[in-house]
Amino acid sequence: MKRNKKDRQSTLKETIEAKPFITDDALAKIFDVSIQTIRLDRMELNIPELRERIKSVATNNWNETVKALPIDEVIGEIIDLELDRRAISILDITAEHVFSRNNIARGHHLFAQANSLAVAVINDELALTANASIKFTRQVVEGERVIAKASVAGTEKTNRTVVEVHSYVDNETVFSGVFAMFRSNQEKEGNES
């Protein structure tokens, strides 16, 4: 049953407030209207497009900056960051990320998102992956959004910071990894003792 415009726009606003990272495509499916209708509704309601909403949430939620690599080298969009504690990034899977014959995402893109997030969360000018243990738990396809969440789990005996990263599509785990990260200041601290 289609809603009238006023009801649809009211519910659309509530939906975007609850899920600021929802795509226009997903909204169009929820409301059973065209993507163009969703875009027009957003414009009338002064709701920015997804990329601007992501930037707004990121600006409002974290003030720390990535130190270990330039922000434009992080795979995906960082939306939350607390150095040496946690970080979150979003990667929308597009045609450039998938195999053309089956639209399944190439694994190296999911790994790159997780690995670059593990580097980004380190509060140091130099952070490199010493080793990683990874697991892919399901295929990701074109059009899906991957949300990667990194958390610093501690320090190994070898003076490496351990970062756990779990990636999700609609709250379903698609990738897990444990990254042992070399960081320059940890090595210096380890050598001084």
pLDDT in tens, 40-74: 999 898 888 877 776 665 555 544 577 777 777 88
Q: Strand 86-92 vs strand 145-155: parallel, antiparallel, or unpaired?
A: antiparallel
Closest CA to 6 of 34, 41, 40: 41
Segment 74-100, tens digit of pLDDT: 899 888 888 899 999 999 999 999 999
CB atoms < 10 A from the CB of 191, how many?
8
State both tokens at 24: 């226009």
pLDDT in tens, 142-164: 999 999 999 999 876 667 899 99
Q: What is the value of pTM for the model shown?
A: 0.68
Distances, alpha carbon 12 to alpha carbons 36, 53, 54, 58, 59, in Å: 14, 14, 17, 22, 23
Task: Among 10-14, 18-22, 172-176, name the one with the lowest average pLDDT.
Answer: 18-22
The CATH number assigned to the domain with range 64-192 reads 3.10.129.10
CATH class of the structural domain 5-55: mainly alpha
Which pLDDT does position 118 carry in this prediction?
95
Domains of the chain, by residue range, sit at 5-55, 64-192
Please give the mean pLDDT across all residues of the chain.
85
